[in-house]
Amino acid sequence: QSTNHRCNTEQTAKHEAAPKKDKPQTKSRMEQIFGFKKEDLTSWHSLVSLLNRPTDPASLGIFRCLFGLLMAIDITQERGLTHLDYKYLDGAPVCRFPLFNFLQPLPMDWMYLVYVVMFLGAFGIMLGCFYRLSCLMFISTYWYIFFLDKTTWNNHSYLYGLIGFQLTLMDGNRYWSVDGLRRPSIRNAHVPLWNYTVLRAQIFIVYFIAGIKKLDADWVEGYSMSYLAHHWLFDPFKLIFPVELVSLLVIHGGGLVLDLTAGYLLFFDATRPYAFLFVTYFHCMNSQLFSIGMFPYTMLATSALFCYPDWPRRFFARFPAFLRVVLPSTSPTTQPSTSCVYSETQATSTGRQETPSVSKTSKLRLKHKLGAIFTILYLIEQFFMPYSHFVTQGYNNLTNGLYGYSWDMMVHSRSHQHVKITYKDGKTGEIGYLNPGVFTQSRRWKDHGDMLKQYATCLSQLLPRYNISDPEIYFDIWVSINERFQQRIFDPRVDIVKADWSPFRPITWLMPLLVDLSPWRTKFQEIEGSLDNQTEIVFIADFPGLHLENFVSEDLGNTSIHLLQGKVNVEIVDQNKNYTLQVPAGAYHKVFTVSEEPSCYMYIYVNTTEAALQENFTKLFELQERVRNGTETEPLPPELQPLIAVDDDEGSEVNATDPIVRLFLKRQRRMKEVKKRREAGVLERLERFAVKKYYSIRRGFLMTAIALRNLAVGLPPLEQLTREVAFANMKEPPAEANQDERLKDEVGHGEL
C-alpha cells in the first residue's frame, strides 16, 4: 500500500506503528485491512486497550482548529448574530417554538452576551486555548440556542452540536495549541484511539444513514429533488442526458450511491483518493445549491480525519523552513500520555518513525474504561436515534420525526398551496380569519404537529388582547410531498388549542399521507406536458366528508375543476347553489368530497391578466426594436416616448406616465441586471460576495458592542442609541445594496 494514503479507521489502531523495514511483515490479513487483530475484541481488557491505544494527536489538532474557525464564522451567519435583534424581537408579541416550553430567550442585550460566550468558545477551540473551558462555553450556549427554536433545526446544526460535545471529552489540544505552549507536558502528547474512533464513526453515520434514508421510493424514483436538475451546475450533464435523466441518474442516483459508499471509501487506503475527489465535488456543489452555511466545509474538514493521524507533520514538512515557525510542528517525536494504554515495552511512534522505547504499566485506569464505555454507548445511541420515531411519536407527521437527527437530508420536498387559520370566539361565536404566520417569523410550523400545537396555544394567549375571548383555533393546511397531490396535513375540524398532544403518542388529528395515490404522479407529468405555457394546473386530493374552501382571483380566467377520481360537488358561497365543475372568478367556492373514497381533481386556469400583460410587453418590445433599427416610420405618442430614451444611466428612475410602459421598462432593467450578474467575472463575483459578507459581519459585531456597552454602563439616550443602530445598519453602496431585492421577482427559481 502507498504510504501516502494509509488510514486509521474509526475502530482501529492501524496508524499506531508502521511495520519495521528490517523485519518481515507478520501482520494477519485482518490486521492489515482493519488495523486490529481478532484477539483485540475477545475480552473487555483487550477492547479497552485497543480503544486507548496511543495515537498521534496531529490530525485531531488540525481538525479542532478548523472546526473552531468554521463555528466562529457560522455564529455570525447561520446562528444569526448578524440579525439577532430581528430574530428575537425583544418585547414584541412573538410566538416561539422551543423544544421545551419553559425555554425562552433572554432580554436582547443578554442574548448578545450569550452569542459572545459562544463565539469566544469557538475561538478558544480554534486556538486550543483553555480548551475544556472553551468547549464548555461553546456547547452550553450552542445547545441552548439550538433548543430555543425548533424551526431552525436541521441535520448539520445538530451535527455541529454533537462534534462540539465530542471534542469536549477529547484531548484535542495536544497539537498546535496555545495550551501546548503554556503546558509543555501535554505538547505533542499521544491521544487515545477512541478520540478518532468516535469522530470517524460519527461521520460514517452521517453519510451511511443518509444513504439508507435515500432508499425511500420517492428518492429512488426521482421525485424528491427533481427541481435541482434545472440548476446551472448540472449543465455539463445536460450535454449528455435529458433533464429527466439528469434528475434521476445524477442527482438522485448519484446522491444515493455517494452517501451509501462515502464512509467505506474513506475507510480503506486504496479507495480514499477517489473518495476525496467525490466528496469534495459533492460538497462544493452543495455549497452552491443550498443555503447551508459552513456545512460543506465542515464535512470537507472531517474527511482528513480518515487519513493517517500524522499527515499534518508530513504535509507541513514540505513548506520552507522560514514558515515553520508559525506552522504546526513537523517533529516526529511524541510524548507518552496518561490518557493512553501502553504495552509493557512499547515503542512510541508517529506513523513510520520511532522514538526510544518507554516502559509503561498496562493496568487499566478508570478514565480508560470510561473512554471505552462512552465510545460504545455513544455509537449505539447514534445508530439508534435515526430510527427512534416509534418512541417520539408525537413528532411524527407526514414524515417521521423532527427534522434534525434523522439524517434524512433532502429526502422530502414540500409545496404548500393553501393555508387557512380560522378563529372562533368562545363566548360570542364570532368567526374570523388570521393571516398565516401572524405573530411569528417562521413558516415551518405548517408541517409539524408539535409546532402547530405551540402556535395555537400562543395565538389563544394573544388574541384576547384584540377582544377575542376563549378563542378556538382551526388550521386548514394543504401540502404536496414529493410532487404528490396537494392534501391536508391536519384535520380542519379540530380545535388545536384544546387538542391533545404528547411527545410519546401519535397525533390523533394528523391526516394520513395518501400514498395509494402516488402512482398518479406519472399521469401528472403527462397532463402538464400537454398544456401550453400560459395554462397552470394544481392537483388536489381530499378526504371523504371534508370540503375545500377556495377563492379564485379575478385575474384567473377560464378556471375549471376536472375530476380525476371519486365524486365532488362545487358550491359557490355567495350564490349558495351548486355548479357543475366550472368556477367563476372573483368568488369563493367550496368543493365537497361526496364519495366514500378520497376524491382527486385538478384546477386548470389561465392568468388572463398576466397573459394580457405579456402580450402588451411583446408588442412594446417589437415597437422598441423597430424604432432602434429605423423601420418604424410613424411618430410615437407621448406615452410611448420613454421607449426610445437612452438608458445608459442604470441608476436613474423609470419615468413613464403609462403604467404598462413603466412596468415594461422596469422589467427590461431587471433583465439587464440579471444578465450582468450572471456574466460577471470571477473577481467581480468575489468582490460582491466579500462586500456583502463584510457589511453583514460588521453589523453583527457593532450590534454586539452596543449590547455589551448597554449591559456594562446602562442604556444611553434614545437619540444616541438610534444613531448607533443606524450606523450599524449601514449597507453596501446603493447600487449593490438593493440589487438583490430588485432581482427577486425576475430571477425566481432560475437563480436557485
pLDDT of residue 576: 58
Q: What is the per-residue pLDDT for 570?
A: 87
**CA angle (120, 123, 128) in 5-degree steps:** 120
Q: Angle formed by the axes of helices 155-169 and 58-76, to 10°? A: 140
Per-residue pLDDT at 64 exceeds 50: yes
pLDDT higher than threshold 60 for residue 14: no
* Average pLDDT value for residue range 549-565: 85
Alpha-carbon distance of 576 to 589, in angstroms, equals 9
Give the contacts of 289 (CB within 8 A, at least 6 positions apart): 228, 231, 233, 752
Q: What's the pLDDT score for residue 645?
A: 67
Q: What average pLDDT does this structure show over 78-87?
A: 92
What's the rounded Cα separation, in Å, for the pair 652 and 429? 54
Q: Which residue has the cell 460588521?
A: 698
**For residue 653, what pLDDT is reported?**
55
- Give residue 376's pLDDT: 97
Taking the CB of residue 328, how many other CB atoms lie within 10 A of it? Answer: 19
**8 Å CB contact between 699 and 726:** no
**DSSP symbols for 317-367:** TTS-GGGTTTSPP-----B--TTS---TEE--EEBTEE---EE---PPPHH
Q: Which one has a higher pLDDT value, 654 or 199? A: 199
Most confident segment among 46-60, 348-362, 580-594, 653-667: 46-60
| Percentage of the residues of the chain whose pLDDT score is greater than 70 | 89
Mean pLDDT of 600-608: 89
pLDDT band with cut points at 50, 70 and 90 for residue 25: low
Domain-by-domain residue ranges, the chain? 55-191+309-340, 413-513, 521-607, 611-679, 682-729
Closest CA to 282 of 297, 267, 304: 297
Which has the closest alpha carbon to 559: 529, 603, 602, 592?
A: 603
565 phi, psi to nearest 5 deg: -160, 145
The predicted pLDDT at position 575 comes to 64
Mean per-residue pLDDT over the chain, rounded: 86
pLDDT score for 647: 47
pLDDT value of residue 346:
55
Element (H, E) at 313: helix 311-316
Q: Please report the pLDDT score of residue 10 as a whole number.
A: 40
Tell me what percent of the residues of the chain surpass a pLDDT of 90.
Answer: 62
Each residue's pLDDT tens digit, 360-399: 446 899 999 999 999 999 999 999 999 999 999 999 999 8
End-to-end CA distance of the chain: give it in Å, rounded.
43
Instruction: Give the model's pLDDT for residue 15.
Output: 43
What is the model's pLDDT at position 461? 95
Least confident of 453-457, 480-484, 570-574: 570-574
Amino acid at 500: D
Helices (H), 559-681: 608-629, 659-678
Give the model's confidence band at 5: pLDDT under 50 very low, under 70 low, under 90 confident, else very high. very low
pLDDT of 347 above 50: no
Q: For position 127, what pLDDT does the model report?
A: 97
Q: What are phi and psi of 538, to 5 degrees?
A: -135, 130
- Cα–Cα distance between 521 and 380 in angstroms, integer? 39
pLDDT at 362: 62
Distance (Å) of CA 722 to CA 138, 718, 725, 728: 31, 6, 5, 10
- CA dihedral sign, ordered 251, 252, 254, 258: positive
Q: Is pLDDT above 60 for 699?
A: yes
Give pLDDT tens digits for 311-345.
999 999 999 888 888 899 998 889 999 999 998 65
Q: What is the pLDDT of residue 138?
A: 98
DSSP secondary structure letter of residue 580: S
Q: Quote the radius of gyration of the chain (alpha carbons, Å).
A: 31
Q: How confident is the model at residue 90 (pLDDT cuts 50, 70, 90)?
A: confident
Mean pLDDT of 535-541: 92
Query: Can you give the pLDDT at residue 632?
Result: 78
Lowest mean pLDDT among 26-40, 58-72, 302-316, 435-449: 26-40
SS3 content of the chain, % helix, strand, coil (to 5): 50, 15, 40
pLDDT in tens, 278-288: 999 999 999 98
State the DSSP code for 518: T
Residue 34, pLDDT score:
76
Fold of 521-607: Jelly Rolls (2.60.120)
Q: Which of 405, 412, 409 lies closest to 388, judged by CA?
A: 405
pLDDT of residue 351 exceeding 80: no
pLDDT of residue 741: 42
Q: Taking residues 515-521, what's their average pLDDT? A: 94
Which neighbouring-strand residues pair with 433? 422
Q: What is the pLDDT of residue 325?
A: 82
Q: What is the mean pLDDT of residues 414-424?
A: 92
Catalytic residue among 14, 150, 213, 214: 214
pTM above 0.95, yes or no: no
pLDDT, tens only, 206-222:
999 999 999 999 999 99
What's the pLDDT score for residue 596? 92
Model confidence pLDDT, tens digit, residues 242-266: 999 999 999 999 999 999 999 999 9
Q: Determine contact, residues 48/372, Cβ cutoff 8 Å.
A: yes
Q: Is the pLDDT of residue 225 over 80?
A: yes
Instruction: Tell me whether residue 37 is one of the annotated catalytic residues.
Output: no
